[in-house]
Every structure is written in structure tokens, then in C-alpha cells.
Copies of this chain bind each other. A is one copy, B any other.
């Protein structure tokens, strides 16, 4: 019977230069295509069929002579794995202003992803229209990866939740406990802040004031918690005035107020790190305006890293957020989720940073 012509795609694009396929390697080596695949992508040691040395040699030789390179698309399709991890930030991943960028995180993310054999897909977030402007399903694009890392403060909860419910591996960089079910990796601000407070107490400080913005982000409340825990551990009282809230430190954190505190016996201040560094900035300028010397009159500590534009000034006492390690930890967690494991290593420790802005309190008359 005549094999009648059947519908379907045209056999060959014909026009373009096409690279050698496993089939051609197989023909040249005198084996089947499947054998070529077995030789060229062996299972992790031991598993799978064993290929005779002679066959292996012939296949490798044929592949080399033909300049065979595997097609990543086909490979990933067949393996049901893209080896792609998404990175989604709600601002541009690469803002023009380097200061606000996630660069330090990305350092770790890239390194760890490479180590684990993943490539990265950068999803251009809500930023500049384009690829996936806004819209409810903007987040849907990330599904093209095997899993996705989310960075940034303002996370659209419903969409994220939807992804998680669908079993899509998601990790949030920065604490997100409140989003139930969303895996996250964050810095241990509680422990780091407590450490700073305890060290101040050990220096002899009895009254310490926390300067923070009026924000209920975990990054902020965690520091407050650590602050209180530190006071308690050091056996210090925690009167209500020890927590200073302000959305506009510049205005509320006046020299007068500072001086009043000093008169009340306050000898140390700790300020949280924020995007803008407003709390720390406000504290610094108020101290200067009040004519107080640091660390002679007051000790100052920054709960985080100083803003980039203060790089020329001496680095204050405080702690460093290990951003690259955080990024790396997030990738590890994400990779575990992708692999179906249930790993969980949320908190990454910060490291205490000694500095010239703290010292023993001045002996009071």
C-alpha cells in the first residue's frame, strides 16, 4: 500500500544551517541514537546501563568529528527541567541608582546558582512596563522557570499565594512569615541587634535608646524585638521612652531632645538601617547639632550597614548583613524546593562589626 502523505509539520526547515544531531552521530558511529544519548550524558556514576568501552570510544570520536553539541532546548524539554531559576524584583533589578540595588544579593545568587548548575532568568518586574507590564498575571511569567526567587518589600500577596498553592517553588528573600506557606530566607536581625545591645551594656551603658522609623516591616520590628531582648538579657530597664518612632527623623530627632535624653542618663543610641538610611542620618546630625561628641559623650551603633554615600566616613559600630550569603542561602533553599525536598534554613546570621563610634560611657558626676 502506498504510504499516503499525512498531515503534520514540514520535515525540514531546509534553509538554515543545522547542526549535527545525535542521529547523525549515531549513523557515523554505527549505533543507535539512544546509545549516543547514553554515552553523551551519562547518569551520575553507576546508575543506568553500562556502555562498552569500544562503543563509547566510537561514539565520542564521531561526536567530536562532527562537532556535535547538544541542543539545550531539547535536553531541557526531555528532562522536564529547565535548570532555570527566576529572580523577580518588584523594582527594576538594576535600578539606575546603584545604592538601592540588590547587587550584593545577586552576587551570592549568581554564585550559588552557578554552583548548583542553574541559570538565572531576570524578570523585569513592575518596573518599566515592557515584558510584563503590571496586571494581575504579571507574576505568572515566572512560571517559565523551575522556581523563583522574590526580592523586595512590596510583594503582591494574592499572586504569590497563588503560585505557592499551585505548587510552584517560591522563595522570598527577606522575612515573609506572614505570607503563610511562602518559604523565605532572611537575616537574623533579632539576634544581631540583641548582640549589639548586650555589648553596649557590657561597656557600661545603662540607658540605651533605639531609633527607628514607624514601620511594621519585619526588618524593623525584628530589630525592636532584638533590642528589647538585649535589654532584658543585660538586666536593663526598658521604659517606653527607649523606643523612638518617627517617620521623619530629621524633624523629630531634635538636638534638644537628644540633650534631654543625655541629661536623663542615656549614653548610647542604636539606629536601624533603612533603605534611605534616614534613621541613622537623623541621629548623626542631631548628635552633631547637639554638640555631643562620639564616642566620648554618646555611643552610636548602626543596626546594619551605612548608606553608600557615607562611605567616606568611619564605619560605625553595628553589624553587617551578609547579603551574598543571604542570596546564596535563598538559592539553595529554592533549589531544594525544586528538587522536591523540604529543606528549610530561614535565618542567616549577621556578623558584629566593631567600630569607632562606641566606647565606655563617660563617668557621670
Contacts and interface: CB of A to CB of B under 8 A. Distances in A.
B144 A70 contact: yes
B19 A67 contact: no
B92 A140 contact: no
Interface stretch (A123-131, A190-198, A238-246): A123-131
Interface in A98-137: 98, 101, 103, 106-107, 109-111, 113-125, 127-131, 136-137
19 contacts: A18-B167, A19-B143, A67-B163, A68-B140, A69-B141, A70-B137, A73-B144, A77-B77, A93-B110, A94-B110, A110-B127, A111-B128, A113-B124, A114-B125, A114-B131, A116-B130, A119-B122, A119-B123, A119-B141
Contact of A72 (B67, B82, B114): B82
A69 B137 contact: yes
A282 B347 CA distance: 46
Contact of A73 (B77, B121, B122, B129): B77
A98 B115 CA distance: 20
A354 interface: no
Copy count, this protein chain: 2
A3 interface: no
A120 B124 contact: yes
Given A76-B73, A118-B131, A119-B131, A94 B103 contact: yes
Most B-side CB within 10 Å, residue of A103, A124, A128, A167: A124
A70 B140 contact: yes
Interface string A132-171: 0000110011111000000000000000001101111000
B141 A124 contact: no
Nearest to A89: B110
Nearest to A113: B124
Interface in A37-85: 64, 67-74, 76-77, 79-80, 82-84
Nearest to A144: B72
